[in-house]
Amino acid sequence: MSSATISKEVAEAVYSRGLEGIIAGETSICSVEQGGLLYRGYEIHDLAANATFEEVAFVLLEGAKPDARQLARFKQELVAERALPASILQFLKDVGPALKAGTAVPMDVCRTAVSLLGHIDPDCQDNSAAANLRKAKRLLAKMPAIIGHMQNVIDGKPFVRPETGGDPTLSHAANLLYLMTGQKPVEEYARCVDVSLILYAEHDFNASTFTSRVIAGTLSDMHGAVCGGIAALKGPLHGGANEAAMEMLKRIDAWVAKGGTVEGYMDNAFATKEKLMGFGHRVYKNGDHRAPILGALGREIARKQGPNSLKWFDMGDKVQKIMLEKKNIHPNVDFPCGMTYFVMGIPVPQYTPIFVASRVSGWCAHVMEQHANNRIIRPLSKYTGAPLRPWKG
Ligand SMILES: CC(C)(COP(=O)(O)OP(=O)(O)OC[C@H]1O[C@@H](n2cnc3c(N)ncnc32)[C@H](O)[C@@H]1OP(=O)(O)O)[C@@H](O)C(=O)NCCC(=O)NCCS
């Protein structure tokens, strides 16, 4: 067995750092290309203009566009699954002090809540297609209540309608905002969040979805795969970028308040190799299809609110212009998302959890696809360690 020579298989294998440019599997769920973003054949501008998040989630999970009866049934199923079990409500109360102290962060709380839900889900260990679909709907339905009730705890307020997980008459997006605040959102805000959920729902083999597929590929369960997806999404190079982008704009604002300029901040960032959050993408080198869609909605909300809100979008435009001129790097969807959620008054640490409330639909669709046609995902590595050496002597 022991040999100092590299096998022919490894020597001839293609190596690509960060798996760039590697096709790591097949999917019929989504196509991500510079030329277009498609969910099961439907183009993202078309979906953002004409569909609701619930319709998109149905397309992803059930595979086809719903007719009126199917959509009504799907919405009913989600509403029926919204309320959180008592043990999860208790966990959210218990983690409150750690959230307030900052040792716990909302993304980790989402991850733990999903893990706990697995313990009491009757289908948890069943990977059949029917059980997976039931679990997917439960997880999708419950994410807004996890986020909303967590925010209630942070704000020191009672849970908003925990017995029903919110208001059964509200959409997934509107109910999410309602659960977080206790106030029913105006139509424009609800639709804006709805569109953001449509844009965030799915993106083929991105880091979190790939993580979920790797977990599912060992024939592990959906709750575990979604926990892994949440952990991967949290990072600022992935979903955490929507929070990081807004924090960066706040730093630029503080820099300008002290007499600096946006250009000066950017030059300093380039000189110190600071990454500009909400910019760049592994696949989209000429722009992210989703960014202008959300940017336009957010800017319109800011315009109606007045100069104090609009200033973020004006500053964002400057940052974008400089990034394009000096680095030829375009914004991704997380850049306008940060500003858009900010002007709607959503607390920054909940931006990535809101991403989860959408992307859970994509993760679950991929878990089902992986389980339906599984081969374990097990690449090679390029060994860079010590050469063969004896243990004794
Ligand atoms: C998304 C991201 C991780 C993609 O990484 P990647 O595919 O490895 O990036 P690339 O290979 O295209 O990077 C090419 C060059 O541009 C630079 N670059 C890419 N994104 C940058 C950014 N946001 N700020 C500054 N420089 C950036 C890289 O450092 C690299 O420079 P180098 O050649 O001098 O090392 C990366 O662009 C990034 O970190 N962006 C910020 C985080 C973010 O917004 N994530 C959300 C993605 S949807």
Question: What atom in ligand 1 is closest to the CA of residue 275?
Answer: 24
Decide if 30-235+361-372 and 241-343 have a common fold.
Answer: no
Question: What atom in ligand 1 is closest to the CA of residue 280?
Answer: 37
pLDDT of residue 360: 99
Q: Which two tokens stand for residue 314?
A: 């004006």
Give the burial string for 240-267 (b: 16+ CB within 10 Å, else e): bbbbbbbebbeebeebbeeeeebeebbe
E strand or H helix at 363:
helix 351-372
pLDDT of residue 1: 43
Q: Is 52 in the pocket of ligand 1 (CB under 6 A)?
A: no
> Could you tell me the CATH superfamily of domain 241-343?
Cytochrome P450-Terp, domain 2 (1.10.230.10)
Residue 281 alpha carbon to ligand 1 centre in Å: 6
Q: Is 278 in the pocket of ligand 1 (CB under 6 A)?
A: yes
Catalytic residues: 238, 281, 334
Task: Please report which confidence band the pLDDT of residue 10 belongs to, taking 50, 70 and 90 as the band edges.
Answer: confident
The string of DSSP codes covering 55-117 is HHHHHHHHSS---HHHHHHHHHHHHHT-SPPHHHHHHHHHTHHHHHHTSS-HHHHHHHHHHHH
Residue 277 alpha carbon to ligand 1 centre in Å: 9
Distances (CA, A) of 109 to 137, 205, 241, 313: 20, 24, 18, 31
52-63 pLDDT, tens digit per residue, is: 999 999 999 999
The answer to whether the beta carbons of residues 198 and 167 sit under 8 Å apart is no
2 pLDDT more than 50: no
Residue 381 alpha carbon to ligand 1 centre in Å: 23
370 pLDDT more than 60: yes
Residue nearest to atom 7 of ligand 1 (CA): 282
Q: Is 320 in the pocket of ligand 1 (CB under 6 A)?
A: no
> In angstroms, rounded to a whole number, what is the distance separating the alpha carbons of residues 281 and 278?
9
Residue 30 alpha carbon to ligand 1 centre in Å: 23
229-275 pLDDT, tens digit per residue, is: 999 999 999 999 999 999 999 999 999 999 999 999 999 999 999 99
> In angstroms, rounded to a whole number, what is the distance separating the alpha carbons of residues 124 and 138?
11
Residue nearest to atom 18 of ligand 1 (CA): 280
Residue nearest to atom 3 of ligand 1 (CA): 237
Distances (CA, A) of 244 to 128, 236, 238, 262, 355: 38, 6, 10, 17, 14
User: 30-235+361-372 maps to which CATH number?
Assistant: 1.10.580.10
Q: Tell me the domain boundaries of the chain.
A: 30-235+361-372, 241-343
33 pLDDT more than 60: yes
Residue nearest to atom 37 of ligand 1 (CA): 280
Q: Which two tokens stand for residue 143?
A: 């994410």
